[in-house]
């Protein structure tokens, strides 16, 4: 069974954790210095907060699958609709290793479909990789933060996804005319 995923960027992690503990009536299932996650069953949601976003507010939405087969079904649906997606295998983000497919909705909201494979000791990729590219999607909060969401594709990748969506739409329209 799939689970809705919501990631919100916050300014004050401690105050936000107190607020969401009261709202959900539960403690986070994952609590790190820069991140917290609640795996709720009612409603069935993976709700995460972090201080990693460019600004407070909605960071990204997603669908968490429980199996590689469910993720493959979602990818087939994405492909059948002609939507461009950025696929990542074994990527580290949010203290987890996952296979993912990133999309952007027509309003520019980042969506990830993913299957978590394992936990990870770090928030994102290896520190050396982040230091080499401070504009990476999961840059440390104390360093340079890109305009992209904490885990969402960097702006160049988002532009590529948007361009692929436009190209796919044009291609479908041409085929329907022929």
Helix or strand holding residue 93 (H, E): strand 86-93
Q: How confident is the model at residue 59 (pLDDT cuts 50, 70, 90)?
A: confident
d(CA 118, CA 97): 5
Q: How confident is the model at residue 176 (pLDDT cuts 50, 70, 90)?
A: low
**CATH number of the domain encompassing residue 106:** 3.10.180.10
C-alpha to C-alpha distances, 33 to 30, 38, 87, nearest whole angstrom: 10, 15, 28
d(CA 114, CA 2): 10
Residue 33 has phi, psi (to 5 degrees) of: -60, -25
> What's the domain range around 26?
3-177
When divided into structural domains, the chain yields a total of: 1
List CB contacts of 125: < 8 A, sequence separation 6 or more. 91, 92, 93, 136, 138
- Cβ-contact 54, 146 below 8 angstroms: yes
pTM recorded for the entire structure: 0.66
Q: How confident is the model at residue 130 (pLDDT cuts 50, 70, 90)?
A: very low
Three-state secondary structure call for residue 96: strand
69-121 pLDDT, tens per residue?
999 999 999 999 988 888 889 999 889 999 999 988 887 888 899 999 999 99
Average pLDDT value for the chain: 79
């Amino acid at each position: 069974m799939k689970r809705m995923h919501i990631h919100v960027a916050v300014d004050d992690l401690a105050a936000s954790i107190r607020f969401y503990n009261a709202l959900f009536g539960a403690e986070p299932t994952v609590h790190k210095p820069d991140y917290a996650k609640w795996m709720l069953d009612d409603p069935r949601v993976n709700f995460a907060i972090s201080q990693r976003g460019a600004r407070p507010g909605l960071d990204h939405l997603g669908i968490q699958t429980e199996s590689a087969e469910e993720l493959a079904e979602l990818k087939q649906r994405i492909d059948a609709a002609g939507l461009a997606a950025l696929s990542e295998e074994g990527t580290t983000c949010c203290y987890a290793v996952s296979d993912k497919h990133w999309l952007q909705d027509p309003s520019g909201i980042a969506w990830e479909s993913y299957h978590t494979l394992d936990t990870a000791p770090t928030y994102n990729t290896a520190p050396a990789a982040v230091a080499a590219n401070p504009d990476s999607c999961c840059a440390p909060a104390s360093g340079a933060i890109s305009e992209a969401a904490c885990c969402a594709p960097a702006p160049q990748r988002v532009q590529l996804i948007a361009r692929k969506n436009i190209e796919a739409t044009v291609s479908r329209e041409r085929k329907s005319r022929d």
